[in-house]
Amino acid sequence: MPPASSTDSRRSGLAGAALAIWLALHGTAPLASEAAAPAAVTIGVLTDMNGPFSDQVGRGSVVAAELAAEDFSREDGGLAVTILSADHQNKPDIGLSIARRWIDTENVAAIVDLPHSGVALGVAHLLGERDRVALASSSMTSDLTGKACAPTTVQWVTDTWAQGRGTVAALAGNGPSAWYFLTVDYALGHALERDATKALAESGGSVAGGARLPLGTSDFSAVLVRARGSGAQVLALASTGADMIAAVKQAGEFGLTPGLTIAPLFIQLSDIHALGLARARDMRLVESFYWDLNDSTRAWSRRWSARMDGRMPTEDHAGVYSATLAYLRAVRRSGTLAGRQVVAAMKREPIDDPLFGRTLIRADGRAVHDLHLFEVKHPDQSRGAYDYYRHLGTISGETAFRPLEAGDCPLVRAPD
């Protein structure tokens, strides 16, 4: 082999200097796609596989991401898609450790799902620093599109602002009421309580009291006794998953219903299935997706169900699919894996989404689409497993989500 020329050596030195500058600024090597259109992309599904949210997300989220990758491959066989998955165990430090390892060793360009708001906030911040994309499809805290917004974050399904407002509105027909909050003591519960309390005050209601309990609480007896003696008409559950299910069951066992209306601020199809219609009947709830809503949701849900032993998907599962497919299409359009550029492409034009309808991703990263108000059927009204909801109405996306200028997102220019 001939010796390197002085020109070759000079180019090598410049390239090395450029790489050193990049590493100093970003802490990691640049994505290969930043020099040329990508030939492959790796997406991580960071989820709860065995904890209190595993029925809402878990293996079903991995299946949803795989379906999105398969559907995209039929559109564009030139971009190879790899789906990874891991269990963050609902611990922000574990979630961050997995995300760092994926970036550094697997060149993961985007992470989707992200249930548990504490995990989501930490991972989204890291991905922003590394110019990767956070597809926070199962994350609830509205801070992700508020004070913690980032140009590399998209929040897809719903959030605490929408859930709090929607639930208050769903119960407004009963007149102003006093609410007692039973809140899970981490970012999700705090945001649900905060956003619902503000909506409650604006509707003329009040707060009769509340309690904050750690994630994984199984005995709510003392709190339920205090709620019964508080004078409240509504028991607001600022939690979800296994904790919320246990609280509803124990409220019934303590005889709090029907005298005290149970208002779950974030409940999904899997939770209703676990409770059973006898316990959950007449509950009013806000969701962005229901498998039996229309022909498109039914067709996709049956595909998902065929891989999930006959279960039907939650709105979080649908959100993983839709967010992943929208991301992959934006990678194709932008010709890069650089996070800021891909999210900018996602924001550029409305998305005709098969599961959520017309969807617009705003400057703050909020995916805006319609939400729906449902009432849980009585057992004798159901045709069988997962036929649980009666559709009461649709809340337009413009009404359902916090106004763009009201979230304190630094990406949003303040009005002149």
- 346-401 pLDDT, tens per residue? 999 999 999 999 999 999 999 999 999 999 999 999 999 999 999 999 999 999 99
Contact between 110 and 329 (Cβ < 8 Å): no
Residues 254 and 395 in one domain: yes
Q: What is the CA radius of gyration of the chain?
A: 23
State whether the Cα torsion 65-67-71-77 is positive or negative: positive
Measuring CA to CA, which residue among 347, 395, 353 is closest to residue 372?
395
Domain that holds residue 377: 161-290+372-399
Say how far residue 66 (Cα) sits from the centre of its chain.
17
- What span, in angstroms and rounded, lies between the C-alpha atoms of 75 and 329? 9
Tell me what the pLDDT averaged over the chain comes to. Answer: 90
**pLDDT per residue over 2-16, tens digit each?**
333 333 333 333 334
Average pLDDT over residues 323-330: 98
Beta bridge partners of 284: 375
Structural domain contains residue 414: no
pLDDT digits (tens, 9 = 90+) for 64-100: 999 999 999 999 888 999 999 999 999 999 999 999 9
Verify that 365 and 376 share a domain, yes or no. Answer: no
Whether residues 227 and 358 fall in one domain: no
Say if CB 292 and CB 113 are below 8 A apart: no
- Count of structural domains within the chain: 2
What is the domain-level CATH number for residue 75?
A: 3.40.50.2300
Supply the pLDDT for residue 177.
Answer: 87
The secondary structure of 65-108 as a DSSP string is: HHHHHHHHHHH-TTSEEEEEEEE-TT-HHHHHHHHHHHHHHH--
- Could you read off the pLDDT of 178-212 as tens digits, one per residue? 999 999 998 889 999 999 999 999 999 999 999 99
Q: Higher pLDDT residue, 112 or 37?
A: 112
pLDDT of the residue at 413:
79
Based on the fold, state whether residues 39 and 137 are members of the same structural domain: yes
pLDDT band at residue 231 using 50, 70 and 90 as cut-offs: very high
Same domain for 112 and 210?
no
User: 312: Cβ–Cβ under 8 A, 6 or more apart, which residues?
Assistant: 269, 291, 301, 304, 305, 385, 386
Here the tokens at position 401 are 């989500």
Whole-number Å distance between alpha carbons of 357 and 131: 29
**Percent of all residues in the chain with a pLDDT value above 70, rounded to a whole number:** 90
Residue of 359, 296, 356, 310 whose CA lies nearest to 330: 359
